Amino acid sequence: MTEHVHRDDFGSRLGMWLFLVTEMVLFGGLFIGYSYMRYRYPAEFHHAGGELNATLGIINTLVLLTSSLTVVLAIVAVQRSEKKRAMALLGSTLALGLVFLVIKSFEWAAKFHHGLYPNSPHLATLPPGEQVFYGLYFTMTGLHGLHVIAGLSLLGVMLWWVATDRIRQDRYIHLENSGLYWHLVDVIWIFLLPLFYLAA
Amino acid sequence: MSTHASTAQPSYLVDTGARKGLMAWLTSTDHKRVGLLYLYSMVSFFFVGAGIGLVMRLVQLTTFQKLISAQTYNALFTLHGVIMIFLFVVPGLPAVFGNFFLPILIGAKDVAFPRLNLASWYFYMAGAILAILALFTGGGAPDTGWTFYAPFSLKTGTNISLAVFAAFILGFSSMLTAINFITTIHRLRAPGMTWFRMPLMSWALYSTAWIQLLATPILAITLVLVILERFFGIGIFDPAKGGDPLLYQHLFWIYSHPAVYIMILPAMGAISEIIPTFARRTIFGYKAIAFSSMSIAGVGSLVWAHHMFTSGLSGLALMTFSLLTMIVAVPSAIKVFNWVSTLYKGSIDFQPPLFFALSFIFLFCIGGLTGVMQGALAINVHIHDTYFIVGHFHYVMFGGTGFAFFAALLYWFPKMFGKMYSKKAIYASWYPMFIGFNMLYFGMLILGMMGMPRRYYVHLPQYHSLHVVATVGSWLLVLGLLIFFGTLLYAIFKGPKAEDNPWGGVTLEWTIPSPPPLENFEEIPIVTHGPYHFEPQEGK
């Protein structure tokens, strides 16, 4: 088949935004569940939220926000044909994303260490509201973590494409769209932080 | 506009690339070929689903209960629902006719993301294969019904996880198609093709795509939660862990009610194309139909709890959802009145597509009005979870979307394949189909009023005679379907060549050859008037 040589950057961006809408609604379902459960068990959510490590949560927020900034700067660098700088900035985004995941895994490990994981015997002794809190916590931060991994993989490919000049000054829509995805991951985390870590 | 034979481009049915035969189809990003891939796979699944339906009717004759156990019966109705809903009616018209005709209707060469389009077909097939695998692996075929209600879906030993994962993948396919269509309509309309010059099918597909985009992710997350619950016991739907099974019902219907509009809106779009063509006059109330599609999409997203009237919601919630349910009937009625008004004083050319379109209107009215009945709280409590809902649902989904699918297929078949079918055979298929349909599903409506619960393996003696009527109806219906699809299959291979514009239609697809050339248009058309612009005729 003859490939259509057809390029519409605005259309690609529109498609990406529509995809981001579906992602937001995906998390939206969980936010509905969260609001309902929080309305039902306000005291338990308050108590369980105090058990989470807010300092780590805030550090992670700063890490993610910075990584979003470096993506934007990488796009600017590509626009200015500064290939090396773009690669360095994308590299730091990847590094920051990994830092986020490492901190997250320490947090989860600490919870597991205290016997707090889905379906654990210790969890079963807690009041129902706290069990649901942890159920939501692991589901929502876990799903968010998967999105971080997806975003990092995407940005990894982008880094490779910048290196091989598939992304350059006159053609950077893929990088732009990956950046949009990374911002979404960031935005969702900004909602998760107060809902879980600052719930106390 | 006159028809002009294409000399420069070959037909899309001719392999032009390096690959030939099946591989050329499986790797083609041409929207027309993707549409046909969907058509073939979907009709195959439709016959599997219809076959299961036939077996279920046989079980109700009781003599066959030696062959089929109650557990198998549970698996059968689950499978019938999953196949018909997720593999046939949800993708239904958008995936087949949307893919094939949306770019042509708005004067484009292809959809905005052709490769994503092909990918969505692969997602569809992957989901279908996983759904079938779920039958034979794990703890046996799912037995929850297509709704996968918690807590049963969390506790049953059957292979729910794989089945819901299949539905998740199918949802992905649906969302990708939606992203594609919205972008296509925004970006690829031909010069002069303003929003209000678009054929109504495009409006219907546009509204549908928005529902798919906004509702499907909710289903996705709900199904993910079911899987997480089954593997890790996270407890969000489990009352023993502080969760709430009712939350499942809410989340499920937040998607699945709008999903019935995903199923019916494109059907309405196709009817809005067919009626003006055979009435030879412009559609009555173009903007009313276009906006009613959008308002169905809007209001239809706010009525989900009418599936849960007996689950113990507050009185205020019940009344709100009951009111909204009745309101959503208004835009649907607007469409029906506009179609009928279009026919009024038209010079009607009676052809098979119009015949099926009129059958659609008749059956859809019964389906729609029984829907309003169930929106009334007092009646709903009485007929909740009875055969009444089964009958209503099939009137809307099969009598509505199904018959519209057939009408659209008859209407566009000559364009898609460049062949004409035997009109006599199609008329002959209509009689058993229509009579059988009404015996089967009107029988169910009455059974439901009498109190026959849905999904029951056995029934009391007083229901037996109507069950016999319904089962005989199902035989007639399947006979009609076989004649119908047999006629079309025969026409693909042996049918006479179709003209470029056999029906005298005036939308863009009728200005190009049948079958369409590879890139649809010799050059992108410039649109100067609305979609249903018929030359003035005598006596008007």
User: Coil, helix or strand for B6?
Assistant: coil
- Does B375 fall in a domain? yes
Q: How near does any CA of chain A get to the CA of B235, in Å? A: 6
**pLDDT band at residue B4, thresholds of 50, 70 and 90?**
very low
Q: What does pLDDT average to over chain B?
A: 92
* Structural domains in chain A (count): 1
User: Coil, helix or strand for A140?
Assistant: helix
CATH of the domain at A89: 1.20.120.80
CB contact under 8 A, B187 and A14: yes
Strands (E), chain A: none
Pairwise CA distance, residues B102 & B104, whole Å: 5
Written as six digits, the tokens of B435 are 């009579």
**pLDDT band at residue B181, thresholds of 50, 70 and 90?**
very high
Q: What does the pLDDT read at residue B3?
A: 43
Rg (CA), chain A: 20
Residue B459, pLDDT above cutoff 50: yes
Q: What does the pLDDT read at residue B1?
A: 37
- Does A23 fall in a domain? yes
- Does B122 fall in a domain? yes
* Of A195-199, B136-140, B249-253, B395-399, the least confident: B136-140
Q: Cα dihedral angle (B155, B158, B161, B163), rounded to 10 degrees?
A: -130
- Does A4 fall in a domain? no
Q: How many CB pairs under 8 A join A and B?
A: 124
Q: For residues B161 and B224, is the Cβ–Cβ distance under 8 A?
A: no
Q: What does the pLDDT read at residue A7?
A: 79
In terms of Cα–Cα distance, which of A133, A138, A135 is closest to A108? A138
**pLDDT band at residue B14, thresholds of 50, 70 and 90?**
confident
- Considering only residues 502 to 531 of chain B, which have any Cβ-Cβ distance to chain A shorter than 8 Å? 518-519
Pairwise CA distance, residues B328 & B317, whole Å: 17
Give the range of the structural domain holding residue A110, as residue numbers without chain letter: 9-197
Q: What does the pLDDT read at residue A6?
A: 64
Alpha-helical segments (H) within B238-376: 245-279, 286-299, 315-327, 329-343, 352-375
Identity of residue B189: R
Q: What does the pLDDT read at residue B7?
A: 55
Question: What's the mean pLDDT in A87-107?
Answer: 96
Peptide bond into B414 cis (omega under 30): no
- Does B6 fall in a domain? no
Residue A191, pLDDT above cutoff 50: yes
Write the burial class of residue B381 (CB in 10 Å: 0-12 exposed, 13-18 middle, 19+ buried). exposed
Interface check for B230 against chain A (CB to CB < 8 A): the answer is: no
- Does A187 fall in a domain? yes
**Torsion B364-B370-B376-B381 (CA) sign:** negative
Question: What's the mean pLDDT in B44-54?
Answer: 95
pLDDT tens digits along A38-64: 999 999 999 999 989 999 999 999 999
Q: Phi and psi of B441, rounded to 5°?
A: -90, -30
**pLDDT band at residue B537, thresholds of 50, 70 and 90?**
low
Give the range of the structural domain holding residue B155, as residue numbers without chain letter: 29-526
Q: What is the DSSP letter of B282?
A: P
CATH of the domain at B127: 1.20.210.10
pLDDT tens digits along B402-423: 999 999 999 999 999 999 999 9
* Structural domains in chain B (count): 1
Question: What's the mean pLDDT in B366-383?
Answer: 93
Interface check for B192 against chain A (CB to CB < 8 A): the answer is: no
Q: How near does any CA of chain A get to the CA of B308, in Å? A: 17
CB contact under 8 A, A1 and B228: no
Residue B179, pLDDT above cutoff 50: yes
Peptide bond into B461 cis (omega under 30): no
- Does B61 fall in a domain? yes
- Does B9 fall in a domain? no
Helices B329-343 and B245-279, packing angle to 10 deg: 10
CB contact under 8 A, B109 and A28: no
CB contact under 8 A, B28 and A4: no
| Token pair 């000559």: residue | B414
- Does B453 fall in a domain? yes
Q: Do you know the residue count of chain A?
A: 200
Q: For residues B359 and B410, is the Cβ–Cβ distance under 8 A?
A: no
pLDDT tens digits along A136-179: 999 999 999 999 999 999 999 999 999 999 999 999 999 999 99
Strand (E) or helix (H) holding B231? helix B200-232
Q: What percentage of chain B has pLDDT greater than the value 90?
A: 81
- Does A1 fall in a domain? no
Q: What does the pLDDT read at residue A5?
A: 53
* Chain B interface disruption, residue of A7, A139, A180, A181, most B CBs within 10 A: A139
Q: For residues B175 and B217, is the Cβ–Cβ distance under 8 A?
A: yes
How open is the CA angle B402-B257-B42, to the nearest 5 degrees? Answer: 35
In terms of Cα–Cα distance, which of B424, B410, B423, B428 is closest to B483? B428
pLDDT tens digits along B214-272: 999 999 999 999 999 999 989 899 988 889 999 999 999 999 999 999 999 999 999 99
- Does A2 fall in a domain? no
Pairwise CA distance, residues B120 & B166, whole Å: 14
Q: What does pLDDT average to over chain A?
A: 93
